[in-house]
């Protein structure tokens, strides 16, 4: 075939539009498939508590004297803790979240980490996102899930990252995940004019260029997705209405968009949002308390919103952070990079309550609470019991599941 | 990013760093200007293409005087403005009251302004002033990148900003601190990177950003020591956790004088005991630590990778890294001769290197200004950079901007193209060379694809652009009128810049 024939033959405006209708009809059709085991309408929302959320001042071991000894001025007073039992409770800023816990919507998994923990933000973030503590992988665990799950490849929204930059966890070999920071601003000005838009499509998808570049196909693919996706996404989610009152914070806005995407049934299976920064080396109390309060209020609004549309049971949220922090406070009223910490599973099919073992603060591992649950046990549980996929190929190993999901 | 972004094809290591003697034309000169600067104006590219290649490179390496460029106006400096420090009074109380200047700022003598509400109001104003000042500083720097006769100096300043990262305001790094750090990067642009690392270790913005100012004998803070080795000089795997702890002790006492806001070596907070660091033992200071780091083979390899990743292509072959590292060692970490050799090399001008990098948003925006000879920053430039994911003086974290394919997401590409669309809709574009292209679609298209894409376009796409310009079955972009040839020219320029090639350096 001559150069250009393909271009003018199959990429005329009309064909493109027809294809689009097909794609989104497909997306809509898939989303209505009723719940099979790990059913096709289930969604996982991953919340990255970026920067290293201090576990001990989040899920507070108020029954442990060692905690108060290690943190003379940073510990949260017993009377202030939102007590879960006589051992642990939540940070006082997490009142709305505590109410969700009390309703059985939250599972807390204690002491989650991995062997030979790395104290670097970047490596440890990479380890949690690639699920590979011992080696360097170029795909994320949710990226591998997306590649593996036999989702309709024409659907542009199988996974959506609500962020400016695509997080490693969503990097896949075959699946392109759009990173959408906000709907407002997600659209091409040039699309205001249909014929300019057609020329645009033809130019940006031209494959026969007189040079090669390792990034060329990536850029061209994302340009194509950006144009098609941005044209359709706002229309697809426009019908969604909500009365939920989200806090006016970045996390509140991200979760509002997540609820809109979930509720618009685009076939989206995994969503990513982030919150932070929790890197509290200095004057931790003010920063972490504010972030946890924002988290708590945004999560409440999110599940109120989901519930009002009947989506709470098909939406599981999981938090993670690259590490917890050292058990002892430092000289600056903060804490340095640590290791294991608790994580939360919210909504979906969770069986509310406490799971795992709280690390023993009297037996610190070089100043750190040791891990008692490998994060891959939690991932395996989510993959098998929620997303309905075998976890061994995705995690490159077999990991025992925990009981926090039905 | 290192994975899967190495160009296809084989490296010929025997000739990789030898001087390039192939064709030297506008396309190659443009490649040089994109890498050693931001792309340059069409005239600058023409000029370089008329010089012998080695002279073209040398003209970029030896920075011409930049004395004619303006300094920034009124950089917010709480010390200068008497809001903090030795002579402070009144408003200092305001700042402390809300923790704006951190705990226990020295020398505070609170007078007046007792009304807590007024105090809060004033504190809000101060924070607002600091943020505004950073926005002005960004505009100043972007304008300087566009206009500087020493583009490689500005390019290195930008690369160092993304490497030895610090961020404004969040840890009381004031606009004045960020400006001084920026000047430091400019001063050492292609200088000795060991000297730069020594200076960065005492830089006020860095001491604040990575908590060096809190690193005291009794409680060593490891944040700077860790990132110094992991991200700035050696890379993971070339030191132990023990090396981090020991070197943190060596840096203890390097702090910020709270009365003046300047660096001070506070001996009373320095741990002068013996440390064992990277296999050596002694009563090391921070200076010793940096010197020992630069004696490690990993350091020269680290900076070889840094240069190759930023100037040649990503994920360079280990043998290429080794060859550049040897050159770095030969030049005792003076980068000018190393970069000069690299920019004259076969591998730099190879097809494997050509357009093998993704333009950062700043390169994209500054380069677009240069392409059209715009001297003033376009009114939408700074807002667009936020949406593209690169905010100067606010890198996302201490690792800087990850770059490569991470620059390209649906959201950031839309931001890039909408920046261009808005720019092309501005009547001022009529005053650029776009207003002077021939009234002949064929000639105009040829001129545009040459200037914008160095003709890196297929004949079919070039024909498509020409049709567009002719108004054959098409109309112009957005609010531009299809009836108007001049406006169709600007629409066609937009379409050329929307092509993937324009995203690549």
Residue A244 maps to a domain: yes
Q: What is the ipTM, given to two decimal places?
A: 0.88
The pLDDT-based confidence of B156 (bands split at 50, 70, 90) is very high
DSSP state of B416: H
Q: Least CA distance to A198: which residue of chain B?
A: B474
Check residue A191 and give its pLDDT.
55
Phi (first) and psi of residue B440, to 5 degrees: -140, 115
Residue A317 maps to a domain: yes
Check residue A10 and give its pLDDT.
23
* Mean pLDDT for chain A overall: 86
Check residue A137 and give its pLDDT.
81
DSSP state of B23: -
H/E element holding B226?
Answer: helix B223-227
Nearest neighbour of A164 by CB, restricted to B389, B399, B491 = B389
> Which residues from chain B sit within 8 angstroms of residue A178, using beta carbons?
409-411
Show which of residues 441-460 on chain B sit within 8 Å of chain A, judged by CB atoms.
455-460
Phi (first) and psi of residue A87, to 5 degrees: -105, -50
Compute the nearest-CA separation of A183 from chain B (Å): 9
Range of the domain at A66: 5-395
> Which residues from chain B sit within 8 angstroms of residue A222, using beta carbons?
408-410, 413
At A326, list the tokens: 């050292």
Average pLDDT over residues B172-185: 95
Phi (first) and psi of residue A375, to 5 degrees: -60, -25
Show which of residues 223-282 on chain B sit within 8 Å of chain A, judged by CB atoms.
223, 226, 230-231, 236, 241
Instruction: Report domain extents, chain B.
Output: 26-63+296-349, 361-503
Beta bridge partners of A368: A365
Show which of residues 348-407 on chain B sit within 8 Å of chain A, judged by CB atoms.
351, 354-358, 387, 389, 396-399, 402, 404-406
The pLDDT-based confidence of A14 (bands split at 50, 70, 90) is very low
Other CB atoms within 10 Å distance of the CB of residue B375: 9
Choose among A396, A338, A324, A340: nearest CA to A367.
A338
Q: What is the DSSP string of B166-181?
A: --SSTTS--HHHHHHH
The pLDDT-based confidence of B116 (bands split at 50, 70, 90) is low
Residue A405 maps to a domain: no
Check residue B381 and give its pLDDT.
96
Phi (first) and psi of residue A35, to 5 degrees: -65, 110
At A286, list the tokens: 């003010």
Choose among B208, B200, B207, B201: nearest CA to B183.
B200
Q: What's the number of CA atoms in the CB half-sphere (13 Å) around residue A378?
A: 30
Nearest neighbour of A138 by CB, restricted to B3, B222, B498 = B3
Average pLDDT over residues B348-376: 97
> Which residues from chain B sit within 8 angstroms of residue A219, using beta carbons?
358, 408, 413, 500, 503-504
CB contact under 8 A, B458 and A209: yes
Taking only the tens place, the pLDDT of each residue in B290-299 is: 999 999 999 9
Residue A175 has pLDDT above 90, yes or no: no
Instruction: Using a CB–CB cutoff of 8 Å, tell me whether B211 touches chain A.
Output: yes
H/E element holding A106?
Answer: strand A106-113
Check residue A22 and give its pLDDT.
36
Nearest neighbour of A193 by CB, restricted to B221, B396, B475 = B475
CB-CB contact of A38 with A387 (8 Å) = yes
Choose among B167, B137, B141, B140: nearest CA to B153.
B141
Instruction: Using a CB–CB cutoff of 8 Å, tell me whether B8 touches chain A.
Output: yes
Nearest neighbour of B478 by CB, restricted to A120, A192, A204 = A192
Nearest neighbour of A189 by CB, restricted to B357, B418, B458 = B418
> Which residues from chain B sit within 8 angstroms of residue A134, using beta carbons?
none
Choose among A131, A175, A138: nearest CA to B2.
A138
Share of chain A above pLDDT 90, in %: 65
The alpha carbon of residue A349 and the mean position of all alpha carbons in its chain are separated, in whole angstroms, by: 17
Average pLDDT over residues A222-240: 87
Q: Which range, of B201-210, B261-270, B478-487, averages the lowest pLDDT?
A: B478-487
The pLDDT-based confidence of B99 (bands split at 50, 70, 90) is very low
Residue B289 CA to residue B211 CA, distance in Å, equals 17
Compute the nearest-CA separation of A366 from chain B (Å): 11
Check residue A123 and give its pLDDT.
82
Q: Which range, of A166-175, B12-21, B68-77, B304-313, averages the lowest pLDDT?
A: A166-175
Q: Which range, of A384-398, B125-139, B348-362, averages the lowest pLDDT?
A: B125-139
Handedness of CA B121, B122, B128, B131 (dihedral sign): negative
At B291, list the tokens: 């010197």
Average pLDDT over residues A167-171: 91
At B249, list the tokens: 């002790």
At B174, list the tokens: 């004031």
Taking only the tens place, the pLDDT of each residue in B363-408 is: 999 999 999 999 999 999 999 998 898 999 999 778 888 888 889 8
DSSP state of A368: B
Residue A43 has pLDDT above 60, yes or no: yes
Check residue B181 and give its pLDDT.
98
Query: CATH number for the domain including A378?
Result: 3.40.720.10
CB-CB contact of A58 with A288 (8 Å) = yes
Pick A289 or B387 by higher pLDDT.
A289
Check residue A221 and give its pLDDT.
85
Contacts from A375-379 at CB under 8 Å and sequence distance 24+? Answer: A375/A112, A375/A113, A375/A114, A375/A128, A375/A131, A375/A320, A375/A343, A376/A114, A376/A131, A377/A401, A377/A402, A378/A109, A378/A112, A378/A318, A378/A343, A378/A345, A378/A402, A378/A404, A379/A131, A379/A141
Q: How many domains does chain A have?
A: 1
Residue A229 maps to a domain: yes
Pairing of strands B275-277, B263-265: unpaired
At B177, list the tokens: 């601190």
End-to-end CA distance of chain A: 55
Residue A35 has pLDDT above 70, yes or no: no
Average pLDDT over residues B34-60: 98
CB-CB contact of B36 with B152 (8 Å) = yes
Check residue B58 and give its pLDDT.
98
Residue B217 has pLDDT above 80, yes or no: yes
CB contact under 8 A, A230 and B478: no
> Which residues from chain B sit within 8 angstroms of residue A221, using beta carbons?
none
Residue B240 has pLDDT above 80, yes or no: yes
Check residue A7 and give its pLDDT.
25
Beta bridge partners of B72: none
> Which residues from chain B sit within 8 angstroms of residue A284, using beta carbons?
none
Nearest neighbour of B475 by CB, restricted to A196, A215, A226 = A196
> Which residues from chain A sit within 8 angstroms of residue B406, using beta carbons?
165-166
Instruction: Using a CB–CB cutoff of 8 Å, tell me whether B501 touches chain A.
Output: yes
Check residue B473 and give its pLDDT.
53
CB contact under 8 A, A119 and B241: yes
Choose among A130, A112, A120, A97: nearest CA to A51.
A120
Check residue B95 and give its pLDDT.
43
Q: Hey, of A190, A232, A234, which one would you mutate to test binding to chain B, going by the most B CBs within 10 A of its CB?
A: A190
At B171, list the tokens: 């840890």
């Amino acid at each position: 075939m001559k150069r250009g024939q393909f271009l003018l033959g199959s990429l005329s405006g009309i064909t493109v539009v027809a294809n689009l209708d097909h794609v989104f009809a497909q997306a809509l059709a898939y989303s209505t498939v009723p719940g099979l085991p790990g059913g096709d309408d289930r969604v996982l929302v991953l919340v990255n508590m970026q920067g290293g959320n201090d576990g001990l001042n989040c899920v507070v071991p108020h029954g442990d004297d060692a905690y108060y000894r290690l943190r003379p001025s940073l510990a949260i007073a017993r009377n202030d803790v939102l007590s879960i039992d006589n051992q642990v409770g939540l940070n006082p800023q997490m009142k709305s979240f505590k109410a969700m816990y009390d309703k059985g919507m939250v599972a807390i998994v204690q002491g989650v980490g991995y062997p030979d923990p790395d104290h670097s933000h970047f490596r440890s973030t990479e380890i949690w996102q690639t699920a590979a503590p011992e080696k360097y992988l170029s795909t994320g665990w949710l990226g591998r899930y997306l590649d593996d799950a036999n989702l309709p490849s024409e659907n542009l929204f199988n996974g959506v990252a609500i962020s400016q930059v695509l997080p490693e966890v969503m990097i896949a070999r075959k699946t392109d995940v759009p990173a959408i920071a906000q709907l407002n601003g997600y659209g091409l000005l040039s699309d205001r004019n249909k014929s300019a838009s057609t020329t645009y499509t033809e130019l940006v998808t031209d494959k026969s260029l007189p040079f090669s570049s390792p990034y060329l196909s990536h850029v061209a693919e994302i340009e194509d997705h950006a144009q098609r996706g941005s044209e359709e996404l706002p229309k697809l989610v426009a019908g969604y209405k909500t009365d939920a009152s989200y806090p006016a914070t970045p996390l509140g806005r991200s979760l509002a968009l997540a609820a809109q995407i979930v509720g618009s049934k685009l076939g989206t299976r995994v969503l990513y949002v982030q919150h932070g920064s929790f890197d509290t080396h200095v004057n931790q109390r003010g920063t972490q308390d504010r972030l946890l309060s924002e988290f708590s209020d945004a999560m409440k609004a999110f599940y109120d919103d989901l519930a009002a549309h009947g989506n709470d049971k098909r939406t599981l949220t999981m938090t993670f952070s690259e590490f917890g922090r050292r058990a002892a406070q430092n000289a600056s009223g903060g804490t340095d990079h640590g290791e294991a910490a608790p994580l939360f599973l919210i909504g979906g099919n969770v069986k509310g309550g406490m799971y795992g073992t709280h690390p023993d603060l009297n037996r610190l591992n070089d100043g750190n609470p040791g891990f008692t649950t490998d994060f891959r046990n939690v991932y395996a549980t989510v993959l098998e019991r929620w997303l309905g996929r075998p976890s061994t190929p995705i995690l490159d190993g077999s990991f025992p599941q925990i009981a926090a999901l039905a | 990013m290192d994975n899967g972004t190495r160009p296809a094809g084989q490296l010929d290591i025997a000739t990789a760093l030898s001087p390039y003697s192939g064709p030297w034309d506008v396309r190659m000169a443009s490649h040089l200007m994109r890498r050693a600067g931001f792309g340059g104006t069409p005239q600058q590219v023409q000029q370089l293409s008329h010089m012998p290649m080695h002279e073209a490179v040398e003209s970029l390496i030896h920075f011409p005087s930049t004395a004619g460029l303006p300094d920034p106006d009124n950089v917010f400096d709480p010390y200068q403005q008497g809001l903090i420090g030795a002579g402070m009074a009144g408003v200092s109380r305001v700042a402390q009251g809300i923790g704006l200047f951190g705990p226990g700022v020295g020398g505070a003598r609170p007078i007046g302004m007792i009304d807590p509400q007024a105090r809060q109001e004033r504190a809000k104003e101060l924070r607002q002033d600091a943020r505004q000042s950073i926005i002005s500083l960004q505009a100043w720097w972007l304008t300087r990148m566009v206009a500087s006769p020493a583009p490689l100096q500005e390019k290195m300043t930008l690369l160092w900003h993304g490497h030895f990262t610090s961020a404004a305001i969040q840890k009381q790094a004031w606009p004045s601190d960020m400006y001084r750090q920026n000047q430091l990067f400019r001063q050492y642009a292609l200088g000795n990177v060991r000297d730069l690392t020594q200076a960065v270790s005492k830089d006020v913005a860095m001491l604040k950003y990575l908590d060096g100012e809190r690193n005291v004998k009794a409680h060593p803070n490891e944040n700077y020591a860790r990132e110094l080795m992991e991200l700035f000089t050696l890379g993971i795997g070339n030191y132990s956790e023990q090396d981090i702890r020991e070197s943190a002790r060596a840096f203890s006492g390097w702090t910020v004088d709270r009365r003046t806001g300047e660096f001070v070596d506070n001996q009373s907070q320095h741990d002068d005991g013996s440390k064992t660091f990277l296999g050596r033992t002694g009563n090391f200071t921070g200076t010793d630590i940096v010197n020992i780091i630069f004696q490690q083979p990993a350091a020269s390899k680290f900076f070889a990778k840094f240069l190759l990743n930023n100037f040649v292509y990503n994920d360079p072959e280990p043998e290429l890294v080794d060859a550049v590292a040897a050159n770095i060692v030969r030049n005792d970490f003076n980068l000018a001769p190393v970069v000069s050799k690299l920019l004259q090399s076969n591998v730099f001008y190879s097809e494997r290197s050509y357009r093998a990098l993704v333009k950062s948003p700043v390169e994209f925006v500054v380069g677009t200004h240069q392409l059209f000879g715009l001297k003033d920053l376009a009114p939408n430039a700074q807002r667009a950079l936020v949406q593209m994911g690169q905010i100067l003086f606010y890198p996302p974290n201490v690792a800087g901007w990850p770059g490569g394919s991470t620059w390209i997401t649906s959201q950031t590409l839309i931001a890039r193209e909408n920046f261009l669309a808005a720019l092309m809709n501005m009547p001022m574009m009529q005053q650029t060379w776009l207003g002077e292209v021939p009234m002949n679609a064929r000639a105009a298209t040829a001129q545009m694809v040459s200037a914008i894409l160095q003709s890196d376009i297929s004949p079919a796409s070039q024909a498509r652009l020409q049709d567009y310009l002719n108004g054959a079955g098409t109309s112009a972009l957005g609010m531009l009128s299809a009836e108007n040839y001049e406006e169709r020219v600007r629409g066609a320029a937009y379409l050329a810049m929307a092509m993937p090639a324009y995203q690549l350096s």
